[in-house]
């Protein structure tokens, strides 16, 4: 059993790099984001991608699908009720989504992107207008499924892939940090 | 502002506060501060509340293209770009507002988490499971370069092979063949695993395969459902059968298996497998002897009746018929005579019956019986098998010219495949044809040049072809295997590149049936998900890249809009046949071809222009001019194995989806209790079923729906289960098929096995 590594990077960066990992479209982008997370694991670009795909992309049945709907609505289907709720939340947050009806809004990479952008507004721009929605999104949506996703994938990765375990533990740590962070600015 | 659930919910749900919230958001400058990622700041916030325009249903016209008799016309309900549900189109009297459970699960198919999402390449070798994402450009580039390399090294493109079958029977899907036509002369896995022996049989007898409108069956007075199970596999046909029965018609099922349909019939006759032809000959003899044959029709419309009758007189002994078929003579007599007395009477022959080494001859014998009874060319009569009479499209996507200077194969010429008979599909090919029913062996044995690239489309080779071990070897020796599919099946597992393809809800197409007479449109109802593309777009991308690399090397259009391509498939003949002026009218709902009774005018497309009991062509090709009795294949093991379609799948499609998995999650072997007892097998035991080809381990279900001496296993593909009934099937040919479809069929049901308890 590995322990969570102490955080070397800021919550904002952790969020960004994790987002980039789950949105990566090729080995290079994936490896870049993975390295940015600060891992000491040596792994080739190709090996990292091949393993990552086996866990989260396909083409075979992935170890854990990175879509909220699969955990909240129906394990076999994407683009269902939770997806549409997230769609509505994004609209209210002020986002437009160019991949609407192409990649479901509740894909982990997209959700991390939303979360990252909201956090960025607060931290860097000191705009707190949307913090309430961010908390809602975190507590009442992401936190309902991401831990289940992590748990499912970890079960396999812990005896199989250090790199994937590292990613999952970083994600877990981010989630814990975010859900326990107090001090919502008024 | 502090976080409170109520507050957020009121923003999300309550029109007023949402509007002021969004207005505030637009005004506050927050939007310009977003750092930007996948999600973009929406400068154009829609503060109109509620979002009526976006949130109501839009409807689209679709059809189910997956090789089912019913080819349902579908109405699709979409909300905010997301498919919500479908229903059968009300306008089609055939579909009449209903689909089967498979069709009703389409939303789950389209949005299945298991769909292929991105083009991917297997980097650790075939079967390694190491997959990398590649861009479409990259995937197409690899394929284009390989094709050009083959052409350069071999001087021809015969090293590139295509295997495509029934995953989508939409007309524009012949664009896949079109893509191969457009690069030069190539290798094709030709023929059909489904129905070739019967197609040949009907063509020999009648010069065509053309059946009456199934909706007429409601007025038939006597219906024999011979080796066909519409209650499971053509549910919409059942209402006509029920209606006829309600009006007093007799409905008889002849089948070796007690099927769902048999349970609904007036009478069920269990026949010994492979003896149907003999029964038909015996029945013909009986009605002729009773003077119930239609001499007038026979004189005017048939050729060789005398020879046929002489054969019956001399060779067919009714006692032998009873003994061989396992049906008491009195029952045979009663059946034959009451059929001949009822007018109109009809027989519907299933595709299972011709999957025997004597399959074609059995269909010929039944055709002959219907002809003798005077029911051919009659309303609500007919020897029904299937038809392609509404398939007269342009095949524009298919018909692509060869690039200049293409070098081909100097072997047999002529377009092959069951649809090659219709429309403008007749190109002067000199492609190389390999038998689709012997895929593994043919790929391994093809020489000069050997096959180096295989493209698989609309087909799950590993679920549908035979001899898995040889198939793996065949795939492994290929330089490049490209599998274009919607799901990751076993074929994809052995591919080098998988390409995710669109469902019919994500592209335009047009569909007709090989059974009923309706024409339906497939409209693009939703955006293609992830990176999926239609087969036509894939072909266009390939064309573009090949031409960039070597100008003039591919003649396929370099950009493809599925709607534009579909429009090109229509012609005045189709409009006339379906009574419409433009394809656009199909947006209002499907339309039906004008009523015609096949052969009512006594004109047959045979060489003699008549119904041919005696066929010179049959003599030349198959050694018997008459539909003479041919004995079925001799057993080579203890039990016969039969592998029909299940209700929950269409060949290997659908079973991998949730709803079907719920009711039918794993394969079973169905065993007669007597056979089970002899082997000490109880319900639920795991057994090994084996023969010279292979071995399968699966659970037993005991039922006397199957005869003693026969085991039944459905053909299917399950998620996470390598079960494939075809592992036990050798690829022995049926007697006919090569005449019209390029290769004989497979005698699937002449497979023999043994089993033991594990
Ligand atoms: S599988 Fe057949 S019955 Fe079911 S929806 Fe498709 S066409 Fe209709």
Ligand 1 atom with the smallest distance to the CA of B654 is 1
Neighboring chain A residues of B32 at a CB cutoff of 8 Å = none
Q: How far is the C-alpha of B365 from the C-alpha of B735, rounded, in Å?
A: 14
- Are B301 and B610 within 8 A, CB to CB? yes
Per-residue three-class SS string for B382-445: CEECCCCCCCCCCCCCCCCCCCCCCCCCCCCCCCCCHHHHCCCCCCCCCCEEEEHHHHHHHHHH
Please tell me if residue B46 touches chain A, with a CB cutoff of 8 Å: yes
Query: In angstroms, what separates the C-alpha of A57 from chain B's closest C-alpha?
Result: 8
Q: Confidence class of residue A145 from pLDDT cuts 50, 70 and 90?
A: very high
* Coil, strand or helix at B756: strand
Rg over alpha carbons for chain A, rounded to the nearest Å, is: 16
Q: How far is the C-alpha of B316 from the C-alpha of B281, rounded, in Å?
A: 7
Distance from residue B239's CA to the centre of ligand 1 (Å): 15
User: Are the Cβ atoms of A102 and B34 closer than 8 angstroms?
Assistant: no
- Are B264 and B575 within 8 A, CB to CB? no
* Coil, strand or helix at B309: helix
- Are B521 and B63 within 8 A, CB to CB? yes
| Nearest beta carbon to residue B108 from set A58, A77, A125 | A77
The two three-digit tokens of residue B303, written as one number: 């050729």
**How many Cβ atoms are within 10 Å of B27's Cβ, its own excluded?**
9
Q: How far is the C-alpha of B201 from the C-alpha of B190, rounded, in Å?
A: 18
Q: How far is the C-alpha of B627 from the C-alpha of B359, rounded, in Å?
A: 11
Of B205, B211, B212, B201, the C-alpha closest to B607 is B205
Interface test with B, best of A76, A122, A138, A181 (most B CBs within 10 A): A76
At residue B358's C-alpha, the angle toward residues B356 and B364, to 5°, is 115
Query: In angstroms, what separates the C-alpha of B660 from chain A's closest C-alpha?
Result: 12
Of B526, B462, B488, the C-alpha closest to B116 is B488
pLDDT at A182: 64
The two three-digit tokens of residue B502, written as one number: 């669109």
Cite the DSSP H helix spans in chain A.
11-23, 27-36, 45-56, 68-72, 81-93, 108-123, 131-137, 143-157, 162-180
| Nearest beta carbon to residue A70 from set B1, B113, B116 | B113
pLDDT at B209: 97
**Angle between the N-to-C axes of helices B276-289 and B359-372, in degrees from 0 to 180, rounded to the nearest 10:** 20
At residue A4, does pLDDT exceed 80?
no
Q: How far is the C-alpha of B370 from the C-alpha of B283, rounded, in Å?
A: 10
Peptide bond preceding B449 in cis form (omega within 30 of 0): yes
**For residue B255, with 0-12 CB atoms within 10 Å meaning exposed, 13-18 middle and 19 or more buried, which class applies?**
buried
The two three-digit tokens of residue A1, written as one number: 């059993």
The full length of chain A comes to: 186
Give, for ligand 1, the residue of B62, B70, B75, B652 to mutate: max count of ligand atoms closer than 8 Å to Cβ: B70
For ligand 1, whether the C-beta of B64 sits within 6 Å is yes
pLDDT digits (tens, 9 = 90+) for B304-338: 999 999 999 999 999 999 999 999 999 999 999 99
DSSP 8-state symbol, B82: E
Residues of chain B where predicted confidence (pLDDT) is lower than 50: 1, 52-53, 414-415, 420-429
Residue partners of B169: CB distance under 8 A and separation at least 6: B65, B66, B67, B71, B511, B514
Instruction: Sort residue B599 into left (φ over 0), alpha (ψ -120 to 50) or beta.
Output: left
**Angle between the N-to-C axes of helices B5-13 and A81-93, in degrees from 0 to 180, rounded to the nearest 10:** 90
pLDDT at B488: 95
User: Are the Cβ atoms of A101 and B81 closer than 8 angstroms?
Assistant: yes
* ipTM of the complex, rounded to two decimals: 0.94
Distance from residue B99's CA to the centre of ligand 1 (Å): 6
Q: How far is the C-alpha of B164 from the C-alpha of B166, rounded, in Å?
A: 7
For ligand 1, whether the C-beta of B86 sits within 6 Å is no
Cite the DSSP H helix spans in B221-294.
230-233, 238-246, 276-289
pLDDT at B424: 42
Peptide bond preceding B50 in cis form (omega within 30 of 0): yes
DSSP 8-state symbol, B88: E
Q: How far is the C-alpha of B344 from the C-alpha of B363, rounded, in Å?
A: 20
From atom 8 of ligand 1, which residue's Cα is the shortest distance away? B72
To which H or E segment does residue B364 belong? helix B359-372
User: Are the Cβ atoms of B12 and A88 closer than 8 angstroms?
Assistant: yes
Residue partners of A166: CB distance under 8 A and separation at least 6: A5, A37, A39, A41
B72, B156, B336, B393, B579 from B511: Cα distances, Å: 9, 34, 38, 10, 16
- Are B365 and B627 within 8 A, CB to CB? yes
How many Cα atoms sit within 13 Å of A61 on the Cβ side? 13
Of B592, B636, B593, the C-alpha closest to B730 is B636
Q: How far is the C-alpha of B511 from the C-alpha of B711, rounded, in Å?
A: 36
Tell me which residue has tokens 């002020």.
A94
Strand-pair category, B453-457 with B480-485:
parallel
User: Are the Cβ atoms of B30 and A114 closer than 8 angstroms?
Assistant: no
User: Are the Cβ atoms of B34 and A186 closer than 8 angstroms?
Assistant: no
Q: How far is the C-alpha of B750 from the C-alpha of B336, rounded, in Å?
A: 27
* Coil, strand or helix at B191: coil
- Are A15 and A174 within 8 A, CB to CB? yes
A8, B143, B159, B215, B388 from B154: Cα distances, Å: 58, 16, 8, 53, 38
Q: What are the backbone angles phi and psi of residue B11, rounded to the nearest 5°?
A: -65, -45
Distance from residue B70's CA to the centre of ligand 1 (Å): 6
- Are B83 and B505 within 8 A, CB to CB? yes
Q: How far is the C-alpha of B111 from the C-alpha of B116, rounded, in Å?
A: 11
User: Are the Cβ atoms of B528 and A84 closer than 8 angstroms?
Assistant: no
Per-residue three-class SS string for B523-547: CCCCCCCCCCECHHHHHHHHHHHHH
Supply the pTM of this predicted model. 0.93
Sign of CA dihedral B51, B54, B55, B57: positive
Of B155, B199, B193, the C-alpha closest to B387 is B199
DSSP 8-state symbol, B658: H
Sign of CA dihedral B471, B476, B477, B480: positive
């Amino acid at each position: 059993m590995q322990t969570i590594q102490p955080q070397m990077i800021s919550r904002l960066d952790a969020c960004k790099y994790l987002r980039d990992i789950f949105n990566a479209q090729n080995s290079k982008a994936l490896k870049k984001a993975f390295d940015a997370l600060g891992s000491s694991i040596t792994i080739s670009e190709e090996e990292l991608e091949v393993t990552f795909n086996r866990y989260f992309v396909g083409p075979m049945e992935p170890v854990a699908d990175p879509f909220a709907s699969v955990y909240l609505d129906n394990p076999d289907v994407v683009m269902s009720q939770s997806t549409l709720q997230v769609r509505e939340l994004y609209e209210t947050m002020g986002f437009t989504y160019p991949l609407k009806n192409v990649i479901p809004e509740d894909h982990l990479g997209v959700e991390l992107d939303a979360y990252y952008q909201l956090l960025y507004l607060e931290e860097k721009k000191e705009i707190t207008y949307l913090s309430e929605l961010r908390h809602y999104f975190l507590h009442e949506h992401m936190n309902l499924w991401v831990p289940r996703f992590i748990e499912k994938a970890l079960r396999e990765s812990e005896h199989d892939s250090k790199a994937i375990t590292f990613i999952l533990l970083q994600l877990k740590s981010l989630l814990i940090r975010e859900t326990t962070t107090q001090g919502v600015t008024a | 502002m502090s976080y409170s659930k109520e507050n957020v919910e009121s923003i999300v749900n309550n029109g007023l506060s949402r509007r002021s919230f969004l207005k505030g958001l637009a005004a506050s400058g927050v939007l310009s501060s977003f750092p930007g990622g996948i999600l973009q700041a929406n400068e154009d916030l829609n503060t109109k509340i509620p979002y009526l325009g976006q949130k109501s249903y839009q409807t689209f016209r679709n059809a189910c293209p997956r090789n089912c008799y019913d080819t349902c016309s579908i109405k699709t309900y979409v909300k905010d770009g997301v498919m919500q549900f479908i229903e059968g189109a009300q306008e089609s009297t055939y579909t009449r507002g209903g689909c089967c459970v498979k069709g009703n699960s389409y939303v789950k198919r389209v949005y299945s988490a298991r769909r292929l999402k991105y083009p991917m390449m297997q980097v650790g070798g075939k079967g390694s499971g190491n997959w990398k994402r590649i861009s479409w450009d990259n995937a197409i580039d690899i394929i284009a370069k390989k094709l050009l390399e083959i052409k350069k090294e071999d001087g021809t493109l015969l090293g590139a092979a295509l295997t495509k079958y029934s995953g989508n029977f939409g007309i524009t899907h012949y664009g896949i063949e079109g893509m191969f036509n457009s690069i030069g002369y190539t290798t094709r896995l030709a023929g059909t695993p489904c129905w070739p022996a019967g197609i040949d049989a009907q063509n020999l007898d009648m010069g065509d395969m053309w059946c009456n409108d199934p909706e007429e069956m409601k007025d038939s007075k006597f219906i024999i459902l011979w080796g066909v199970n519409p209650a499971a596999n053509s549910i919409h046909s059942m209402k006509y059968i029920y209606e006829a029965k309600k009006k007093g018609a007799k409905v008889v099922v002849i089948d070796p298996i007690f099927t769902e349909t048999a349970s609904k019939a007036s009478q069920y006759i269990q026949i010994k497998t492979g003896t149907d032809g003999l029964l038909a000959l015996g029945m013909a003899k009986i009605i002729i002897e009773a003077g119930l044959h239609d001499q007038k029709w026979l004189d005017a419309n048939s050729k060789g009746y005398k020879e046929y009758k002489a054969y019956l007189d001399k060779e067919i002994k009714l006692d032998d018929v009873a003994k061989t078929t396992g049906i008491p003579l009195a029952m045979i007599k009663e059946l034959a005579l009451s059929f001949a007395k009822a007018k109109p009477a009809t027989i519907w022959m299933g595709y299972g019956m011709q999957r025997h080494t004597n399959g074609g001859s059995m269909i010929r014998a039944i055709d002959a019986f219907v002809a003798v009874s005077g029911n051919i060319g009659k309303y609500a009569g007919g020897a029904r098998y299937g038809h392609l009479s509404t398939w007269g499209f342009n095949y524009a996507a298919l018909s692509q010219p060869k690039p200049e200077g293409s070098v081909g194969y100097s072997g047999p010429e002529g377009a092959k495949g069951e649809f090659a008979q219709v429309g403008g599909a007749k190109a002067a090919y000199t492609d190389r044809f390999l038998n689709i029913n012997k895929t593994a062996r043919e790929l391994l044995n093809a020489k000069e040049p050997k096959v180096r690239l295989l493209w698989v489309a609309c087909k799950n080779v590993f679920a549908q072809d035979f001899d898995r071990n040889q198939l793996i070897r065949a795939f492994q020796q290929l330089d490049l295997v490209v599998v274009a599919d919607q799901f990751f099946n076993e074929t994809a597992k052995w591919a080098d590149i998988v390409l995710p393809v669109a469902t019919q809800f994500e592209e335009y197409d047009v569909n007709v049936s090989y059974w009923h007479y309706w024409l339906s449109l497939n409209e693009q109802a939703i955006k293609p998900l992830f990176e999926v593309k239609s087969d036509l777009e894939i072909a266009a991308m390939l064309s573009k890249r090949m031409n960039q690399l070597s100008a003039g090397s591919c003649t396929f259009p370099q950009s493809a809009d599925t709607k534009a391509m579909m429009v090109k498939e229509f012609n005045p003949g189709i409009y006339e046949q379906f009574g419409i002026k433009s394809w656009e009218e199909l947006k209002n709902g499907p339309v039906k071809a004008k009523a015609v009774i096949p052969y009512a005018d006594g004109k047959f497309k045979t060489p003699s222009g008549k119904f041919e009991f005696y066929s010179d062509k049959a003599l030349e090709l198959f050694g018997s001019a008459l539909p003479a009795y041919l004995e079925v294949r001799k057993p080579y093991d203890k039990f016969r194995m039969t592998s029909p379609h299940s209700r929950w799948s269409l060949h290997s499609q659908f079973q991998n989806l949730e709803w079907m998995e719920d009711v039918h999650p794993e394969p079973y072997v169905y065993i007669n209790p007597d056979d089970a007892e002899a082997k000490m097998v109880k319900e639920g035991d795991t057994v090994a079923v084996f023969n010279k080809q292979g071995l399968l381990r699966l659970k037993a279900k005991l039922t006397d729906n199957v005869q003693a001496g026969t085991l039944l296993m459905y053909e299917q593909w399950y998620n996470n289960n390598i079960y494939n009934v075809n592992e036990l099937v050798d690829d022995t040919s049926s007697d006919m098929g090569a005449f019209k479809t390029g290769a004989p069929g497979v005698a699937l049901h002449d497979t023999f096995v043994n089993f033991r308890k594990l």
